Amino acid sequence: MKLQTTLGLTALVIGVFAIGYRLQAVGFGDEASTPASVAEGPAMTVFKSPTCSCCARWVDDAKNAGFDLTVKNTNDMNRIKAEYGVPQTMMSCHTAVVDGVVIEGHVPMEDIRAYLTNGTYPLGDRTIGIAVPGMPQGSPGMETGRQDNFEVVAFAPRGHTKVLKRYEF
């Protein structure tokens, strides 16, 4: 009887460790050090504050859309935005980079894919990226029940911009 109890407890402990390992492997561990998902899409690096919940929800959207994610938590988002040339008028909370294109803020995944697939840049080869400026309610990651109108905007140096798509509700 004692041997069976010991074997049962050993199996239970091994099982708990195995479950913990599996949960971390599928993304329940530290975001910056574990693979985000098994992805089919292009590699995307997301810079975000470690405490921003709307950024975390947007990252979940990117995972679900199949992007191969690397998440880098930082408390110096202003430095990241300056490094990647994001104009102040385009700024939001998180900044991502995919295939050399800067994605600023709560841009819908289908708009990122369309922009990357299109292959033409509306502001010529000087286009830096696309943004949803600010943090409009109802945009991806900002689902709160309220729905604000918002735009997806291409941006280039010296403040040049072009609206690519409008979401009106």
What is the pTM (predicted TM-score) of this model?
0.76
> What's the whole-number mean pLDDT along residues 81-85?
97
Please state the domain count of the chain.
2
- Which amino acid appears at position 143 of this protein? E
* pLDDT of residue 79 exceeding 90: yes
Residues 21 and 78 in one domain: no
- pLDDT of res. 158: 86
Among 15-19, 52-56, 76-80, 121-125, the least confident range: 15-19
Residues 69 and 81 in one domain: yes
d(CA 118, CA 149): 24
- pLDDT of res. 21: 31
Structural domain range at position 26: 1-30
User: Which CATH number do you get for residue 128?
Assistant: 3.40.30.10
- pLDDT of res. 76: 97
* pLDDT of residue 61 exceeding 90: yes
